Amino acid sequence: MRVGTLLDGVWSGDSSPRSVLVLPDGCVDVAEIEGRLKVIGPMSRARQATLRDPSARGLRFRPARVRSWLGVSPKELLDTVVDAAEFSSLRGVSDLAHVLQLAQQQVTDVGLLAGVAVLERGCGPESESGRNPVRRAAAAVGLGSRQFRRRFVDEVGLTPRYFVRIRRLQRLVPLLQGDAVSLRDAALDAGYADQAHMSREVRALVGASPSSLVRSMSETFKTPANNAS
């Protein structure tokens, strides 16, 4: 499998330790920090993090791309950081190059990836009015809504509805950082019903107002990541 289809991005440490706001994105990271490999599970809410190792670097795997080779469902890793030695599939794996090689050798559930793509489209303003994106995603995979939800949680670690919420938040951030867009326009362009809906969601997922989020994001290292090639 091509690297670009596996990775959402890569990241690295900074020469000066600093606290940054890390937003949930539905991804699983494998990072090399202070000479040890760590698996960083999907996040349900934003959190502050301080990266003190300037040589640290990480691979951010796209949603539904890790269970087949990691051997553990991301739902078991929600909001956790686990030493790679805890996973039988990673024992003896010493660096990120070997992690990526391992991931490329595994087969991904292509059908479920189609459902993930539908949900990502469904979080924005271009989504079909009046149609539930979870039902559309389940139909794209050929499953009923309940069966799709179970498989999605097993592969991504979040429910489909929660995934839509955090991907919409990811869509919102660059819009808020733009100088020419009002809060109302940013909300609508990101797929929220209105500005009030956006404010409620940002407070629920980040614990701050949209304007506070913009200030915090000036120091983040996770959004956006460097694009994988």
The total of structural domains in the chain comes to 1
- Identify which of 147, 79, 149, 146 has the alpha carbon closest to the alpha carbon of residue 119: 149
Distance CA 33, CA 95 (A): 10
Residue 16 lies in a domain: yes
Kind plus residue range of the DSSP H or E element containing 197: helix 195-206
Residue range 119-172, pLDDT digits in tens: 988 776 655 444 688 889 999 899 999 999 999 999 999 999 999 999 999 999
Domain limits at 18? 3-104
- Does residue 97 form part of some domain? yes
pTM, 2 dp: 0.88
Alpha-carbon gap, residue 148 to 141, rounded angstroms = 8
Query: What pLDDT digit, counting tens, does each position of 69-103 carry?
Result: 999 999 999 999 999 999 999 999 989 999 999 99
